[in-house]
Structure 1
Amino acid sequence: MASSEIKSGALVTLQDLHPSSSYFKQGASLRVTGRLQDYSVETAIATIVDGSERLKINTQHLRELSFRVGSVYQFIGELLIQPDNEAVLQARVGRNVDGMDLNLYHQSLQLLRQFQANHLKNPAV
């Protein structure tokens, strides 16, 4: 029987999503955060940005979420790699996170990764 387990979204920044990254793989379950640059009601495609990086988000499965250009959003979903190596996140969860300090978010993510690397290297007995 096939497993229908939904995986948690790995915390990543848009800077982490490049073809040589371990996160850049078909079907990877990810959690991304960025400022909404544009949104098309016709295609349900949103584009979020973080610094100079951008990512398209397919929001067709999201309900009850209103989009405002300039607001900060967080999405959890699966990464779909297009033939031209462009990534699109198929969102299953989305939320507005206005008020989140993105610089502090990046710092905390970096500290979390350092902690996890040290913990995996030196597991408690």
Structure 2
Amino acid sequence: MMAELRRCGKHHTSPSAIPTPASGAQGGNGPHRRGSRKGARMLPQPGIYYFPWEVSAGHVPDGNTLRTFGRLCSYDLTQSRVTLMAQHRSDQHRILVCTELVEPFQAQVGSLYTVLGELERQEGGGSVVKARVLTCVEGMNLPLLEQAIREQRQYLQERDGGQ
């Protein structure tokens, strides 16, 4: 597992480094608190939802943690790569996903997936999402998910604008 973590070039928090109430962490978020204790490691960011067309158009900054979705159209086990596709209006958008940290998994071509991971630019101009979580959500109401993302953005803008 550690070799896989190093291969993706990311530093990930081990479970023993997560502050818990028993280890003296205090605060409203329990074990997920982003503590300031000396020597404590930070948890990865939870990820902001982006639409697939925003990811493929380059609207997500390099290194950002994101959540997105799409239909699995191909899986290359030897390269640990999945391609997700999503349609927006008349355009098809593709997202390349590195699956090294989530293997092995049962790829279901044609099924809807959500992914949580970090976006990294590749040599040659493309980008890849280094998946921490890749979940098959076949049967999910996609228009309702898109509406929820828009409403969440609106709420966060209103909340943050009022500060």
With structure 1 as the length reference, what TM-score do the two structures score? 0.87
Match of 1:74 among 78, 93, 114: 114
Residue 11 (structure 1) aligns with:
49
Match of 2:105 among 56, 62, 65: 65
Q: CA RMSD in A?
A: 1.7
Q: Deviations over 1:2-25 (max 9, x none)?
A: 954311111111111223x2x2x2
Match of 1:38 among 26, 49, 74: 74
When you count helix as a share of all residues, which structure comes out higher? Answer: 2
CA distance in 2, matches of 1:117, 1:105: 18
CA distance in 2, matches of 1:27, 1:79: 5
**Alpha-carbon deviation of 1:109?**
0.6
When you count strand as a share of all residues, which structure comes out higher? Answer: 1
Where structure 2 has 5 or more consecutive residues not aligned to the other structure, the ranges are 1-38
Given that 1:65 and 1:95 are in contact with CA atoms closer than 8 Å, whether structure 2 keeps it comes out as no
Where structure 1 has 5 or more consecutive residues not aligned to the other structure, the ranges are none
CA distance in 1, matches of 2:47, 2:149: 14
Identity over aligned residues, as a percent?
Answer: 27
CA distance in 2, matches of 1:40, 1:50: 19
1:1-125 paired onto structure 2 within 5 Å: 3-17=41-55, 18-19=57-58, 21=59, 23=60, 25-51=61-87, 52-123=92-163
| 1:85 counterpart SS class | coil
CA distance in 1, matches of 2:77, 2:107: 10
CA distance in 2, matches of 1:40, 1:27: 23
For the pair shown, which has the larger CA radius of gyration, 1 or 2?
2
- How many correspondences in the alignment? 120
Given that 1:8 and 1:29 are in contact with CA atoms closer than 8 Å, whether structure 2 keeps it comes out as yes
Q: Deviations over 1:50-81 (max 9, x none)?
A: 11111000101113521011001111111110
CA distance in 2, matches of 1:61, 1:117: 33
When structure 1 is superposed on structure 2, of 2-11 and 58-67 the one drifting more is: 2-11
